[in-house]
Structure 1
Amino acid sequence: MHNATPTSGIQPPYLKKGDKIAITCPAKKLPGPMTDAITLLQSWGLEVVLGETVDASFHQFAGDDDFRARDMQRLIDDDSVKAIIAARGGYGTIRIIDKVNFSRLAQNPKWLIGFSDITLLHTHLYSNYNIQTIHGQMPVNIPDASARSLESLKKALFGDEITYSFNAHPLNRCGEGAGVLIGGNLSLLIASLGSVSDFSYDGKILFIEDVGEYLYSTDRMIRTLDRAGKLKTLAGLIVGSFTEVKDNDIPFGQTVEDIVMDVVKDYSYPVCFDFPAGHIPDNCSLIFGRGLQLSVKTHHVAASYI
């Protein structure tokens, strides 16, 4: 049990009305205009700046690797931009991450927002610069997003208090834990292992989610994390949505919950399932790099930042 108060990462300044938020595409290209997202951000009093990648196309990417890296670089280096939100995930962030120089961000932190493929940016910025980032809805998801998830994104950006409270899943493991919140998409956490974007999970609260994965692949990834020593000394484990889960002709025989609990059964920290975050309309914002208190009880789960 980790009882020490966790040390949160560097917190970028919260946004205020009139601030600039930039939209860029570090990975897959956009299917169409982001009218709903721009309208929403403007309704919050923000000035929306569009990166050159939002209109770009190179095979499945929003421009070639150098083009996407340059767009990200320009927005990082522009001190008038107070937050950068990835328009979408898909695949491609790993192709540009080492082409971008984040030193300006270390000197002048700003919020970076996204999820899924953007997990690599979350891990990279925490690993190398200890900067807090926001795992939350992206412009491509906003037309289908729940009101609660969008409100949580606004709260995260503007510095309003965020707490999470929901009914417990029957397979949860009860307990109390406090640690810096880390994580994101399970496939991308695996992709960062052993790289400059990797870091120690000791004493942390880990959040995981994924989409479109086979059960056997999920089992392999969870076991890979465990074999890498990442799961043994956590302060807590939060499992978000695993959507569009696939199975083989011969069924795997375990659910995602079964797989997770099988791997972490010998550890003592709290585990909660069905956390409202991931590839779902109700993708509530999480602030990575910030201390979190997790309380998992028989009928109820609560989490709050510390």
Structure 2
Amino acid sequence: MSITPPYIQKGDRVAIVCPAKKLPQPMDDAVALLQSWGLEVVLGETITADYHQFAGDDDTRARDLQRFVDDDSIKAIFAARGGYGTVRMIDKVDFSRLKSSPKWLIGFSDITVLHAHIQQNLGIETLHGQMPINIPDATSTSLETLRKALFGAEVSYQIPAHPLNRSGKAQGILTGGNLAILVSLSGSVSDFDYEGKILFIEDVGEYLYNIDRLMYTLKRAGRLAKLAGLIVGGFTEIKDNDIPFGQNAQEIIKALVDEYTYPVCFDFPAGHVANNCALIFGREVRLDVESAVVKLL
């Protein structure tokens, strides 16, 4: 049974940290939005830190995250952005305080490392959704789903069906994140059991052949065979070689799960897209893929 952190209330203190790539600009838009929700915002030292491409060196980023994990007055931790770097510092962080004082952790992309690690080792729900760096370009719909999820309002979705969908109904724990990151965690202490899960995947900037390779890696490791369902989000800024691969990202994924019987949904509004709607990882959900509509409840 997963642990749901206490929902946010007006007046709560929340933190913004940067566990991966450094920020190109101040987080004024994010601070203003969170303040408009009635929250007090605390900025970590990594918001302005600079070490090569990272928001401070590994020790600095780990120390900053540790500070807010251990601070019981902080009710949620927003990762300011993804990029690359969370995996370099995660083993320096002691998450044990979250066992007695769970709190929401919010982010996507490279923050998949934290989602997977916390779910596997602590059984605490986390929130896959818009990050502070994305707020200026985010849709109002996606930001509202983030607010609702944090404040404990019901978050459910009903979207049009995609031609490649496979119909069916499934119930299970929702998990996943960035496809490349999920594969990179294989065999580590942050990896998790895929069996019976409803898996969400998304990615950005990959070559088509590498999406094929990543999916084959999961398949050959037995990760795709026993899923309860599969939700495919945004696969954006995808690249091809001079000699075309011959399939787009959705077609690659469909071909590799064709032999299974669980429901599959394509083009779900989450990932590296403006309408990156919030998903609560670690929570049991119901996925209904019908001929005309997809429901995630």
* TM-score, with structure 1 as normaliser: 0.96
**What residue in structure 1 maps to residue 206 of structure 2?**
213
Distance in 2 (alpha carbons) for counterparts of 1:121 and 1:150: 21
What is the letter of the counterpart of residue 211 of structure 1? V
**What residue in structure 2 maps to residue 295 of structure 1?**
288
Q: CA deviation at 1:256?
A: 1.1
What is the letter of the counterpart of residue 39 of structure 1? A
The reply to whether residue 99 of structure 1 matches residue 97 of structure 2 is no
**What residue in structure 1 maps to residue 138 of structure 2?**
145
Distance in 1 (alpha carbons) for counterparts of 2:257 and 2:137: 34
Distance in 2 (alpha carbons) for counterparts of 1:146 and 1:282: 5
> What SS does the aligned partner of 1:153 have?
helix
**What residue in structure 1 maps to residue 102 of structure 2?**
109
**What residue in structure 1 maps to residue 269 of structure 2?**
276
Q: CA deviation at 1:114?
A: 0.2
**What residue in structure 2 maps to residue 252 of structure 1?**
245
Distance in 1 (alpha carbons) for counterparts of 2:249 and 2:53: 30
Q: CA deviation at 1:261?
A: 1.2
**What residue in structure 2 maps to residue 227 of structure 1?**
220
The reply to whether residue 176 of structure 1 matches residue 176 of structure 2 is no
> What SS does the aligned partner of 2:148 have?
helix
Q: Spell out, residue by residue over 1:133-187, the C-alpha distance to the aligned partner (whole angstroms, 9 max, x if none).
A: 0000000000000000000000110000011011000010000000000000001
What is the letter of the counterpart of residue 36 of structure 1? D
Segments ≥4 residues shifted beyond 6 Å: none
Distance in 1 (alpha carbons) for counterparts of 2:164 and 2:292: 11
**What residue in structure 2 maps to residue 200 of structure 1?**
193
The reply to whether residue 266 of structure 1 matches residue 249 of structure 2 is no
2:159 to 162, 166, 177: 166
Gaps of 5+ in 1: 1-6
> What SS does the aligned partner of 2:286 have?
strand
Distance in 1 (alpha carbons) for counterparts of 2:54 and 2:253: 33
**What residue in structure 2 maps to residue 65 of structure 1?**
58
Distance in 2 (alpha carbons) for counterparts of 1:177 and 1:237: 9
**What residue in structure 2 maps to residue 4 of structure 1?**
none
Quote the sequence identity (%).
66
The reply to whether residue 31 of structure 1 matches residue 24 of structure 2 is yes
Q: CA deviation at 1:24?
A: 0.2
**What residue in structure 1 maps to residue 72 of structure 2?**
79
**What residue in structure 2 maps to residue 130 of structure 1?**
123
Distance in 1 (alpha carbons) for counterparts of 2:9 and 2:167: 38
Q: Spell out, residue by residue over 1:9-45, the C-alpha distance to the aligned partner (whole angstroms, 9 max, x if none).
A: 1100000000011000000010011111100000000
Distance in 2 (alpha carbons) for counterparts of 1:199 and 1:117: 16
Q: CA deviation at 1:199?
A: 1.4
Number of corresponding residues: 297
